[in-house]
């Protein structure tokens, strides 16, 4: 009997403690919410964020980010692909709904069969996406191939021009040196003949004496 009274007393104490805790938590929650919502800064900040001018400013800043622009382009491309797939799925859904409505109107709903997913259309959508992706990749690869050819032609033309210029400079230098050597040979021969004449003249003058 004493044990039963002790257990009942403990249960009442636990229930009382739980209720007190719940009231305490509720009071804390209400105070926190009131403190937050009554703040002037919070209210003005919410109004500012909800204004169209603030949205426009943020949108303009985002539009100037190059990475976000790329992401936007990719998203638009994905949305375009999703639109085409959604159209196919929407068409199949409308057809299935039309069949279901016919069955309900005719009273044959219980006898109607479950509409199954048309996997051929799903495969067609995925195939179209892959085909579009393949075409775009082929276009990019073609452009890269053309750029590679142009770069190769530019490289070859630059090499030919430089080689021709080098050969021209070499030939001009060779001709100049050859002409200079011929001139020096001519001067040497003239100096040699002049020296012989002077020598003979000196000998003649010496013999006369």
Q: Are 4 and 57 contained in the same domain?
A: yes
Q: What is the mean pLDDT of residues 132-144?
A: 91
Q: Are 79 and 102 contained in the same domain?
A: yes
Out of 42, 64, 86, a domain closes at 64
Q: How far apart are CA 105 and CA 99, in angstroms?
A: 10
Who has greater pLDDT, 9 or 156? 156
Q: Are 40 and 56 contained in the same domain?
A: yes
pLDDT in tens, 46-99: 777 777 787 777 777 766 666 666 666 667 766 666 666 566 566 666 666 665
Q: Are 90 and 54 contained in the same domain?
A: no
Residue 6 has pLDDT above 50, yes or no: no
**C-alpha to C-alpha distances, 122 to 81, 87, 126, 192, nearest whole angstrom:** 13, 11, 6, 104
Does pTM top 0.85 for this prediction?
Answer: no
Q: Who contacts 168 (Cβ-Cβ below 8 Å, separation ≥6)?
A: none
Q: Are 58 and 37 contained in the same domain?
A: yes
* pLDDT in the model for residue 26: 44
- Enclosing domain of residue 101: 71-117
* pLDDT-wise least confident of 9-13, 40-44, 56-60, 152-156: 9-13
Q: How far apart are CA 47 and CA 4, in angstroms?
A: 61
Long-range contacts, stretch 177-185, CB < 8 angstroms, 24+ apart: none
Q: How far apart are CA 27 and CA 17, in angstroms?
A: 15
pLDDT in tens, 11-22: 554 444 454 544
Burial pattern 31-40, b for ≥16 Cβ within 10 A else e, equals: eeeeeeeeee
């Amino acid at each position: 009997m004493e044990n039963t009274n002790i257990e009942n007393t403990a249960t009442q104490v636990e229930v009382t403690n739980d209720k007190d805790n719940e009231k305490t938590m509720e009071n804390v929650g209400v105070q926190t919410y009131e403190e937050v919502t009554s703040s002037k800064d919070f209210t003005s900040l919410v109004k500012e964020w909800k204004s169209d001018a603030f949205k426009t400013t943020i949108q303009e800043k985002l539009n100037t980010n190059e990475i976000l622009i790329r992401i936007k382009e990719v998203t638009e491309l994905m949305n375009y692909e999703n639109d085409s797939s959604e159209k196919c799925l929407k068409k199949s859904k409308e057809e299935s709904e039309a069949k279901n409505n016919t069955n309900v109107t005719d009273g044959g709903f219980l006898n109607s069969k479950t509409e199954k997913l048309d996997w051929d259309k799903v495969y067609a959508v995925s195939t179209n996406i892959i085909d579009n992706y393949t075409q775009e990749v082929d276009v990019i690869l073609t452009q890269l191939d053309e750029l590679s050819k142009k770069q190769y032609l530019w490289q070859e033309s630059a090499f030919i021009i430089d080689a021709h210029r080098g050969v021209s400079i070499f030939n001009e230098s060779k001709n100049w040196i050859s002409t200079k050597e011929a001139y020096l040979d001519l001067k040497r021969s003239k100096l040699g003949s002049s020296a012989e004449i002077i020598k003979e003249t000196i000998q003649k003058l010496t013999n006369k004496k």
